[in-house]
Structure 1
Amino acid sequence: MPITTEKEQLVAELSDKLTRTKGAVLTTYSGLSVAQDTKLRRKLREAEVEYRVVKNTLTRIAAAKANITGLDKHLEGTTAIAISYTDPVAPAKVLSEFVKELKGKNLEIKAGIVEGKVIDANGVKSLASLPSREVLLAQLLAGMQSPIVGLVNVLHGTTRNLVCALEAIRKQKESA
Structure 2
Amino acid sequence: MKSNNRQLKEAKVQEIKSKLEKAEAVILADYQGLNVEEDTELRKKLREAGIEYKVYKNTLTKLAAKEIGIDGIDEYLEGPVSIAIGYEDPTAPARILNDFAKEHKKLELKAGIIQGEIFDTDKIKQLAEIPPREVLLAKLLGSFKAPLSNLAYLLNAIKEKKESESAE
Provide the TM-score with structure 1 as the length reference: 0.82
- How many pairs does the alignment contain? 165
Task: Write out per-residue CA displacement over residues 77-131 of structure 1, whole angstroms, 9 at most, x where no aligned residue.
Answer: 22110112122222112211221122x22x2110122222221111221222222
Match of 1:172 in 2: none
Match of 1:18 in 2: 20
Question: Does structure 1 residue 155 correspond to structure 2 residue 155?
Answer: yes
Match of 1:78 in 2: 80
Q: Pairwise mapping of residues 27-176 of structure 1 onto structure 2 (< 5 A)?
A: 27-102=29-104, 104-105=105-106, 107-168=107-168
Q: Note closer, same or farther for the CA distance 1:158–1:57 as it changes in structure 2 (3 Å cut).
A: same
For 1:112, what is the secondary structure of its paired residue? strand
Task: Write out per-residue CA displacement over residues 151-173 of structure 1, whole angstroms, 9 at most, x where no aligned residue.
Answer: 222322322222122122xxxxx
Give the residue type in structure 1 aligned to 2:111. A
Contact 1:16 / 1:66 at 8 angstroms: preserved in 2?
no
Alpha-carbon distance between aligned partners in 2 of 1:48 and 1:83, rounded to the nearest angstrom = 9
Alpha-carbon distance between aligned partners in 1 of 2:133 and 2:89, rounded to the nearest angstrom = 8
| Structure 2, unpaired ranges of 5+ | none
How far residue 54 of structure 1 moved from its aligned partner, in angstroms, is 1.8
Match of 1:173 in 2: none
Provide the TM-score with structure 2 as the length reference: 0.86
State the identity as a percent. 44
Superposition RMSD in Å = 2.1
Give the residue type in structure 1 aligned to 2:162. L
For 1:4, what is the secondary structure of its paired residue? helix
Alpha-carbon distance between aligned partners in 1 of 2:25 and 2:125, rounded to the nearest angstrom = 13
For 1:86, what is the secondary structure of its paired residue? coil
| Structure 1, unpaired ranges of 5+ | 169-176
The farther-off stretch of 18-27 and 28-37 is 28-37
How far residue 26 of structure 1 moved from its aligned partner, in angstroms, is 0.2
